[in-house]
C-alpha cells in the first residue's frame, strides 16, 4: 500500500517521468491506431513493430550508445522500409498482402534478433537495457527519453487533430476521397508515417513483440461503446493511457517484470469487459435481449392459448386450470407457471383458487396475437403463394414481432379480411 501512495503522489521526479512517458506513449499510439483499426490494417502495425528492431540495433552499432533520438531515427528508417516493401511486394508480385506482411515481419525481426545477440555478446557496457526493446520497460524511462517522446506525442496528436476529417474519409471510402480531388496518396503517407512513429515510441514501454496490441486493442475496445468516431478515438486514448499508467506502476513495484505484457494484459482486460458489457454491441446486452424476447414469446403464447380456449366456448373470461391450458398448447410447466405469475403481475390475467382467467386487457392482448397470426397466414398464402398447410409455423414467430404500424399496413393490404386460410375467424376489436 505504501508503494501505491508513494507512486501515485508523484513526488519522486523519476516516477513522474515514467508515468508521463508511459501515458504519452500508450495514448498517442492508441489514437493513431484507431485509424489503423478502422482501415482494417491491424497486421501492418504488427509488421512495423517487429521491423523497427533491426533499426534500433543498427543505430546502436553505429553510434555506440543508447541515445533515444538516434535509436528512434534508426527504428523509424527500418519501420518505414518494411512498409514500402510490403506495398511493393503486394503490388508487383502475385504474393497477396497477408503473405507479404508475414514475410517482411519475420525477416526483419529475425535480422533484429540476430543483431541484438551480436551486441549482447560484444561486451559493450552501454548495451545493457537494449533487450528491453523486446518486451518493454516503462520504469527505465529517463528525462532525456521523455523529451523525445513528448515531442513525438505532440506531433502525433496534433497531426491527427488537423487531419481528422481526411483520415476519417480515407478509412471509410478511399476511392470517393480520391474522386473529390483530395491528395489521397499524401494523406496515406502521413498516416503511415504517424503509425511508424507511434510504434517507434511505443516499443519503449511495451516492446516490439506486443506493440501491435497497443495500436489496435484500445480502438477495438472503444468501438464497442460508441458510434461516433470522435468519441471512439478519445476513448481509445483513455483506455491506452490507463493501461500505460498501470504498466508504469507495475514496472515500479516489480522492477524485474517486463512492462509490455502487463500493459497488454490491462488493455486486453478492458477490451474483454467491453466485449461483454458494452450496450447494444456487448454480449451481455445481447443475451439479456434474447432472454427478454423469449419471455415475451412465452407470455404471448399463454395469452393466445387462453384466447383459443375462450374462442371454443365463446366465453373469454371463463376460469381455466393449468391442465386446460396445457391441453391447448405444449408449455414447459415451469415456464408456464412463471409466465402466468408474470402476466398476473402485469394485470393481464387474474387468479382465484388456482384458476386463471383473463382481465379485459389480457383478452385484448391475446386477441391481438391471434389476429396477427391469422393475418400473417393469410398474407403468406395470398402474396407469397405458400400452401395453407405450411404457413402456421412461420406465423407462430412473426405474430410476436409485428409492430402496430405493420399491423395496420397488413390489415389495409389484405383489405380487413374476416377469415384466415383455415377459415378461422380473424378477430377485430
Partner 1 sequence: MIHQAEDPVLEIHDLTVSYDRKPVLWDIDLTLPKGQLIGIVGPNGAGKSTLIKSIMDLIPNSSGYIKLFDQPLKDVRGKISYVPQRESVDWDFPASVMDVVLMGRYGKLGLFKRPRKADKEVALDALRKVGMEAYTNRQISQLSGGQQQRVFIARALAQQADLYFMDEPFSGVDAATEKAIITLLREMSAKGKTVVVVHHDLQSVTQYFDWLILLNMRLVASGPTSEVFNKDLLQETYGGKLTLLSDVGDLIRRERFPSREQTAKTKK
8 near partner 1, judged by CB under 8 A: no
Min dist. Cβ of residue 160 to partner 1 (A): 12
Rank residues 226 and 269 by Cβ distance to partner 1 and give the closer one. Answer: 226
Cα angle: 168, vertex 170, 176; to 5 degrees:
120
Among 90, 124, 140, 178, binds partner 1 (CB under 8 A): 178
Among 166, 300, 377, 420, binds partner 1 (CB under 8 A): 166
Residues 6+ apart with CB under 8 A from 45: 33, 36, 195, 199, 211, 212, 215, 216
Stretch that binds partner 1, among 74-82, 141-149, 163-171, 289-297 (CB under 8 A): 163-171
- Cβ distance 308 to 317 under 8 Å? no
CB 267: neighbour CB atoms within 10 A?
Answer: 29
Among 5, 62, 125, 180, binds partner 1 (CB under 8 A): 180
Min dist. Cβ of residue 93 to partner 1 (A): 12
User: What are residue 320's DSSP bridge partners?
Assistant: 356
- Residue appearing with cell numbers 405444449: 330
Question: DSSP for 76-125?
Answer: HHHHHHHHHHHHHHHHHSS--HHHHHHHHHHHHHHHHHHHHHHHHHTT-G
Cα angle: 258, vertex 262, 268; to 5 degrees:
150
Min dist. Cβ of residue 101 to partner 1 (A): 20
158 near partner 1, judged by CB under 8 A: no
124 near partner 1, judged by CB under 8 A: no
Min dist. Cβ of residue 214 to partner 1 (A): 20
Cα angle: 277, vertex 342, 334; to 5 degrees:
90
175 near partner 1, judged by CB under 8 A: yes
Rank residues 93 and 321 by Cβ distance to partner 1 and give the closer one. Answer: 93
163 near partner 1, judged by CB under 8 A: yes
90 near partner 1, judged by CB under 8 A: no
Min dist. Cβ of residue 58 to partner 1 (A): 35
278 near partner 1, judged by CB under 8 A: no
Interatomic CA distance for residues 191 and 195, integer angstroms? 6
Rank residues 214 and 229 by Cβ distance to partner 1 and give the closer one. Answer: 229
162 near partner 1, judged by CB under 8 A: yes
- Residue appearing with cell numbers 474483454: 272
Stretch that binds partner 1, among 98-106, 171-179, 194-202, 207-215 (CB under 8 A): 171-179
Indicate the burial class of 145 (C-beta count within 10 angstroms; 0-12, 13-18, 19 or more): buried
Helix and strand totals (H; E) in the chain: 19, 2
Binding mask 24-63 for partner 1 (x = CB under 8 A): --------------x-x-----------------------
Stretch that binds partner 1, among 111-119, 122-130, 167-175, 420-428 (CB under 8 A): 167-175
Min dist. Cβ of residue 20 to partner 1 (A): 28
- Cβ distance 245 to 19 under 8 Å? yes
Footprint on residues 188-227 left by partner 1 (CB under 8 A): 223, 226-227
Question: What spatial distance separates the first Cα and last Cα of the chain, rounded to whole Å?
Answer: 70
Min dist. Cβ of residue 21 to partner 1 (A): 29
- Cβ distance 364 to 301 under 8 Å? no
Q: Which residues bind partner 1 (CB under 8 A)?
A: 38, 40, 162-163, 165-166, 168-169, 171-173, 175-183, 223, 226-229, 232
Amino acid at each position: 500500500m505504501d508503494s501505491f501512495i508513494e507512486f501515485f503522489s508523484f513526488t519522486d521526479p523519476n516516477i513522474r517521468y515514467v508515468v508521463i512517458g508511459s501515458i504519452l506513449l500508450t495514448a498517442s499510439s492508441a489514437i493513431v491506431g484507431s485509424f489503423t483499426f478502422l482501415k482494417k490494417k491491424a497486421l501492418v502495425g504488427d509488421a512495423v513493430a517487429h521491423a523497427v528492431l533491426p533499426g534500433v540495433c543498427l543505430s546502436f552499432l553505429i553510434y555506440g550508445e543508447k541515445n533515444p533520438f538516434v535509436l528512434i531515427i534508426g527504428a523509424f528508417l527500418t519501420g518505414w522500409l518494411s512498409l514500402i516493401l510490403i506495398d511493393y511486394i503486394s503490388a508487383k508480385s502475385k504474393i497477396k498482402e497477408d503473405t507479404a506482411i508475414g514475410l517482411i515481419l519475420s525477416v526483419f525481426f529475425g535480422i533484429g534478433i540476430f543483431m541484438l545477440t551480436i551486441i549482447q555478446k560484444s561486451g559493450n557496457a552501454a548495451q545493457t537495457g537494449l533487450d528491453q526493446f523486446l518486451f518493454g520497460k516503462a520504469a527505465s524511462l529517463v528525462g532525456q527519453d521523455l523529451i523525445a517522446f513528448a515531442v513525438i506525442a505532440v506531433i502525433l496528436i496534433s497531426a491527427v487533430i488537423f487531419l481528422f476529417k481526411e483520415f476519417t474519409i480515407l478509412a471509410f471510402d478511399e476511392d470517393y476521397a480520391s474522386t473529390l480531388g483530395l491528395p489521397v496518396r499524401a494523406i496515406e503517407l502521413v498516416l503511415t508515417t504517424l503509425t511508424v512513429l507511434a510504434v517507434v515510441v511505443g516499443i519503449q514501454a511495451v516492446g516490439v513483440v506486443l506493440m501491435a496490441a497497443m495500436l489496435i486493442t484500445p480502438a477495438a475496445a472503444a468501438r464497442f461503446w460508441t458510434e461516433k468516431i470522435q468519441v471512439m478515438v478519445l476513448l481509445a486514448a483513455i483506455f491506452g493511457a490507463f493501461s500505460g499508467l498501470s504498466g508504469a506502476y507495475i514496472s515500479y513495484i516489480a522492477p524485474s517484470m517486463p512492462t509490455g505484457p502487463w500493459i497488454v494484459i490491462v488493455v486486453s482486460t478492458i477490451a474483454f469487459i467491453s466485449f461483454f458489457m458494452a450496450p447494444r454491441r456487448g454480449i451481455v446486452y445481447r443475451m439479456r435481449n434474447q432472454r427478454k424476447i423469449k419471455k415475451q414469446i412465452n407470455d404471448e403464447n399463454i395469452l393466445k392459448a387462453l384466447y383459443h380456449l375462450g374462442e371454443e366456448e365463446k366465453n373469454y373470461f371463463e376460469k381455466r386450470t393449468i391442465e386446460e391450458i396445457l391441453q391447448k398448447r405444449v408449455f414447459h410447466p415451469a415456464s408456464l407457471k412463471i409466465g402466468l405469475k408474470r402476466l398476473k403481475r402485469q394485470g393481464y390475467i387474474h387468479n382465484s383458487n388456482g384458476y386463471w382467467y383473463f382481465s379485459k386487457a389480457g383478452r385484448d392482448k391475446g386477441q391481438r396475437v391471434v389476429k396477427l397470426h391469422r393475418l400473417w397466414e393469410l398474407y403468406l398464402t395470398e402474396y407469397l403463394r405458400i400452401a395453407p398447410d405450411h404457413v402456421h409455423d412461420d406465423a407462430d414467430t412473426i405474430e410476436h414481432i409485428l409492430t402496430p404500424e405493420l399491423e395496420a399496413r397488413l390489415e389495409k393490404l389484405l383489405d380487413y379480411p374476416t377469415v384466415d386460410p383455415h377459415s378461422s375467424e380473424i378477430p377485430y376489436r
